[in-house]
Amino acid sequence: MSLELEAVTVVFRGNGRRPVPAVVEVTLQVERGQVVGLVGESGSGKSSLGKAAVGLLRPTSGCVRFNGKPVSAIGRRARPSSQLGLQMVLQNPFESLNPRRTVGNQIKDAMRASHLSKRLQDARLSQLLGVLGLAPDTAGKFPHQFSGGQRQRVAVARALAASPSMLILDEPFASLDASAQAQLANVLRVLADEEQVGMLVISHDLAIVRHIADRIAVMYLGTIVESGVASDVWSSALHPYTEALIGAIPKVDGRGALPIALPGEIADPANPPSGCRFHPRCPHAFAVCQVDSPVLIEASPGRNVACWLRHPDEAVRASGADGEADSDASSDEMLGRDSV
């Protein structure tokens, strides 16, 4: 019982425009009861990966399996009932709720597959609203009567109403205030622990994700650059990008140190940098990084990283130590190339 993505690549092709590879050869697995956090900046391909995982996007290559069966792209027919256990909460809670239908009706729609009686549906509805901290009169209201945070929770309640065994949440914390974030994080964790729901939580916020995720995968420009047990990734990041993401989080340690901003912008996926996709922004980039892209290797059991600095061959890493001096000049050069 799991969700498996195998070398999934998603390329967007517009007529006449340069194809945009949003997701490149991503392999990822989520077990039941496991929470996997997928983190990265805006534009790193997280949402595209999530959509490909439920069949909203057809992977250009690679395949997605849910409980061992391939996940088919959604066509005109209803999704097969075997796949209804795989659900996704879309990113924008303002657009994912129907403006002209009551919230209660929309949540009950999600229970259709479970064939509950009307009374049981109502009971489940009020239970779900309660779990997510929404008032009981929520059901009779229209989406525009709620704040962004409330809508976000309504959207989660609706997905839960379908009793999924695997849930993909795209930025579920984005429009919530701190207390609602904590509440939702608890709800998700309990769901994973007690009902064995597997989750792929997509977020740009590593600080929240690390609290609920069992594993974390860090995505940069369409590829996974590091993955591992959440606490390991947090305490000892192997990839410079993960380090930068952690460094960018404000710390409450009493020293008043400002977070370190990662220099530059994420590159255009239609025109990715040569070699390692992160090298123009990497403080440790050296000669090899500009030429060859590092593959994802297993640094230790269950811990993967794609970085030349972590290459098992001593000679490769050593060349990095010499090459660091000229890395500044070369990264400027590469940034210049990007802006063309």
Partner 1 sequence: MLVVFAMVVLTLWLVVVIFGPLLAPYGPSQQSSAVLSNPSVTHIFGTDELGRDELSRVISGARISIPFSFVIVAIALVIGSILGGLAGYLGGWVDGLIMRITDLFFAFPAIVLAMAIAAILGPSLTSSVVAVVVVAWPNYARVIRSLVLPAMHSDYVVTARLLGSSSVRALVRDVMPNVIGPMVVYSALGLGDAMLVLAGLSFLGLGSQPPTAEWGSMISDGAQYFEQWWLALFPGLAIVSVVLSLNVLGDRVRDTLDPRVNR
Q: Which stretch binds partner 1 (CB under 8 A): 93-101, 129-137, 311-319, 325-333?
A: 93-101
Our finding on whether 116 is near partner 1 (CB under 8 A) is no
- CB closer to partner 1, 87 vs 290: 87
Beta strands in 44-116 (DSSP E): 61-66, 69-70, 86-89
* Selection from 331, 324, 323 nearest residue 281 by Cα: 331
Q: Residue 220 and residue 11: Cα distance in Å, rounded?
A: 15
Among 3, 28, 49, 54, binds partner 1 (CB under 8 A): 54
Q: How many residues bind partner 1 (CB under 8 A)?
A: 32
Residue 223 near residue 26 (C-beta atoms within 8 A): yes
C-alpha of 260 from chain center: 23
Q: Where does this chain touch partner 1 (CB under 8 A) — which range of 108-116, 193-201, 209-217, 264-272?
A: 108-116
Q: Are 184 and 153 in contact (CB under 8 A)?
A: yes
Q: How far is the CB of 128 from partner 1 (least distance, A)?
A: 14
Q: How far apart are the first and last CA of the chain?
A: 47
The stretch among 2-10, 97-105, 127-135, 254-262 that binds partner 1 (CB under 8 A) is 97-105
Q: How far is the CB of 269 from partner 1 (least distance, A)?
A: 22
Smaller CB separation from partner 1, 14 or 250: 14
Going by C-alpha positions, the residue among 202, 275, 291, 276 that lies closest to residue 241 is 276
Smallest separation (angstroms) from partner 1 to the CB of 163: 11
By CB under 8 A, tell whether 151 contacts partner 1: no
The reply on whether position 92 binds partner 1 by CB under 8 A is yes
Which of the stretches 69-77, 188-196, 287-295, 332-340 binds partner 1 when contact is defined by CB under 8 A? 69-77
- Cβ-based nearer residue to partner 1, 58 or 112: 112
DSSP secondary structure string for all residues of 220-285: ETTEEEEEEEHHHHHHS--SHHHHHHHHTS---SSS-PPPPPPPS-PPPTTSPPSSSTTGGG-TT-
Which CB atom, from 158 or from 279, has the smaller least distance to partner 1? Answer: 158
> Which residue in 100, 115, 119, 255 binds partner 1 (CB under 8 A)?
100
Angstrom distance (rounded) from CA 273 to CA 242: 19
Among 74, 116, 270, 287, binds partner 1 (CB under 8 A): 74
- CA dihedral angle for residue 67, residue 68, residue 74, residue 75, rounded to 10 degrees: -130
What residues make contact with partner 1 under the rule CB under 8 A?
A: 54, 56, 74-79, 81, 84, 87-88, 90, 92, 95-101, 106, 109-110, 112-113, 142, 144, 155, 158-159, 162
